């Protein structure tokens, strides 16, 4: 019964996480677009009020006229909306989901003894350490290099190097699926920490200075802008890391860390292309679509690199032979029934009888042959030939004889 309620917690937390992530990413994308699309006002009244940029937009049957004040308006508005709960809620629901799915089942989901043999407790501590240490290193890089000459480039290169090392290390220590998720969670934690540690506190200090009639220190606006830009560049790499851990053929190889880095790099390049496009729309310059093209080429190159080799003569000969149900049943009993039986029905699926195997044939095909996610961490040592056997059996009609 405990596993049943954990599945409910998994479902509801995943649902809430997706909803809040949509809200956060949507507002982040909108404000990055807005910052890049503002034009200098020509209206003397707006200039007099201290408006630094404006934009006219049409949506939902009406016209909108957002304006930006740098560093702040001369008087504090009575109604001021803050954007931060989208970020906090996304991180809290994501960490809750990580706890329910990975930390509560660390021996199954975090630890793969063929990768690194350690206790679940130590693996849990190490996974939490990834979140904390990356934030500390990233924050140090931003604070020490961000305001130097070519600071943005220096920070970008250093972050790429640290993320690459973290991806490599995670894939040497954790199960492949967990490593991919953990690197995404590591970046997402830093995104939310940017909001919690720097962006919102800085904005509160600006508000306090305005209310006290003091000059506003522009460093808070600069820092918030820096971290907001980092957050928008992290977004697509985080999403790619989170989604890619559902596809076993991405994280199953020995160079899975490189696959992850290249996928995230492709996401960052594609995001950069869109950010630069917003600016190009204001300046009249050409939109730099080549960055998105490079990202797409990287993904295509990965798809070609990871494509399965052509079948050998032995495999072709085997494929021409009909698959008997007893062959598939023997594989499932050896590789799957350990976790899917009358006493232990992971995900509510049992496979210990021919009738149950026939009932769940599609799930077995999808998880073992297509996604290659099961058995979890390949704990029972299923072979590629056995996966191919299940695939041929299902595609031939999942015959029960």
Residues 6+ apart with CB under 8 A from 186: 130, 131, 134, 135, 166
Q: Looking at the predicted structure, is the pLDDT value of residue 233 above 80?
A: yes
The DSSP string of 328-371 is HHHHHHHHTTTTBSSS-BGGG---SSHHHHHHTHHHHIIIIIIS
Mean pLDDT for all residues in the chain: 88
pLDDT one-digit tens code per residue, 313-367: 776 676 677 888 888 888 888 888 888 887 777 777 888 888 888 888 888 888 8
Distance CA(200)–CA(34), nearest Å, equals 19
Q: Residues 340, 333: contact at Cβ < 8 Å?
A: no
Question: In angstroms, how far is CA 243 from the centroid of its own chain?
Answer: 6
Q: Is the peptide bond before 261 cis (omega within 30 degrees of 0)?
A: no
> Looking at residue 138, what is its pLDDT?
97
Give pLDDT, residue 284. Answer: 67
6-32 pLDDT, tens per residue?
Answer: 788 888 999 999 999 999 999 988 888
What CA–CA distance (Å, rounded) separates 369 from 389? 9
Residue 247 has pLDDT above 70, yes or no: yes
Helix axis angle, 219-244 relative to 200-211, nearest 10°?
A: 160
CA dist 372 → 181, 251, 365 (Å): 17, 10, 9
Whether the pLDDT of residue 1 is over 60: the answer is no
Gyration radius of the chain over CA positions: 26
Calculate what percentage of the chain has a pLDDT beyond 90: 44
**Per-residue confidence (pLDDT) for residue 282, from 0 to 100:** 66
Neighbours of 11 (CB within 10 A): 12
DSSP string, 66-133: -EEESS--SS--SS-----HHHHHHHHHHHHHHIIIIITTHHHHT--TTT----HHHHHHHHHHHHHH
**% pLDDT > 70, the chain:** 97
Cα gap 395→362, rounded to integer Å: 10
HSE (CB half, 13 Å, CA atoms) of 193? 17
**CA–CA gap between residue 150 and residue 146 (Å, rounded):** 8
User: For residue 252, what is the DSSP state?
Assistant: S
Q: Is the pLDDT of residue 231 over 80?
A: yes
Q: pLDDT category, 283, cuts 50, 70, 90?
A: low
Rounded-to-integer distance, Cα 212 and Cα 225, Å: 24
In this predicted model, what pLDDT tens digit does every residue of 104-139 receive, in sequence order?
A: 889 888 998 889 999 999 999 999 999 999 999 999
């Amino acid at each position: 019964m405990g596993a049943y309620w954990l599945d409910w917690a998994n479902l509801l937390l995943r649902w809430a996480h997706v909803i809040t992530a949509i809200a956060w990413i949507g507002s982040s994308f909108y404000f990055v677009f807005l910052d890049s699309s503002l034009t200098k006002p020509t209206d003397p009244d707006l200039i007099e009020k201290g408006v630094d940029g404006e934009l006219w937009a049409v949506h939902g049957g009406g016209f909108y006229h957002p304006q930006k004040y740098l560093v702040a308006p001369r008087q504090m508005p009575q109604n001021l909306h803050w954007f931060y709960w989208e970020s906090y809620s996304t991180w809290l629901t994501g960490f809750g989901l990580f706890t329910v799915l990975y930390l509560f089942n660390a021996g199954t989901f975090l630890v793969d003894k063929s990768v690194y043999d350690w206790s679940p407790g130590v693996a849990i501590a190490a996974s939490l350490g990834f979140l904390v240490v990356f934030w500390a290193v990233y924050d140090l890089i931003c604070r020490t290099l961000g305001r130097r000459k070519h600071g943005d480039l220096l920070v970008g290169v250093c972050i790429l190097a640290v993320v690459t090392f973290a991806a490599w290390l995670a894939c040497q220590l954790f199960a492949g699926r967990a490593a991919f998720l953990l690197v995404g969670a590591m970046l997402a934690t830093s995104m939310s920490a940017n909001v919690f540690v720097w962006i919102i506190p800085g904005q509160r200090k600006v508000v306090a200075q305005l209310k006290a009639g003091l000059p506003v220190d522009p460093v808070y606006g600069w820092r918030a802008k820096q971290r907001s830009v980092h957050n928008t560049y992290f977004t697509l790499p985080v999403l790619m890391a989170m989604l890619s851990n559902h596809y076993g053929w991405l994280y199953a190889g020995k160079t899975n860390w490189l696959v992850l880095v290249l996928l995230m790099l492709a996401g960052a390049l594609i995001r950069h292309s869109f950010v630069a496009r917003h600016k190009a729309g204001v300046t009249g310059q050409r939109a730099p679509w080549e960055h998105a093209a490079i990202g797409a080429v990287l993904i295509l190159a990965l798809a070609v690199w990871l494509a399965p080799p052509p079948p050998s003569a032995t495999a072709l000969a085997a494929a021409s032979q009909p698959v008997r149900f007893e062959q598939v049943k023997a594989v499932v009993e050896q590789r799957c029934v350990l976790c899917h039986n009358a006493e232990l029905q992971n995900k509510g699926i049992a496979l210990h009888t021919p009738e149950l195997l026939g009932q769940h044939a599609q799930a077995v095909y999808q998880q073992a042959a297509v996604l290659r996610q099961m058995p979890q961490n390949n704990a029972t040592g299923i072979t590629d030939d056995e996966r191919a056997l299940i695939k041929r059996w299902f595609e031939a009609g999942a015959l029960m004889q």
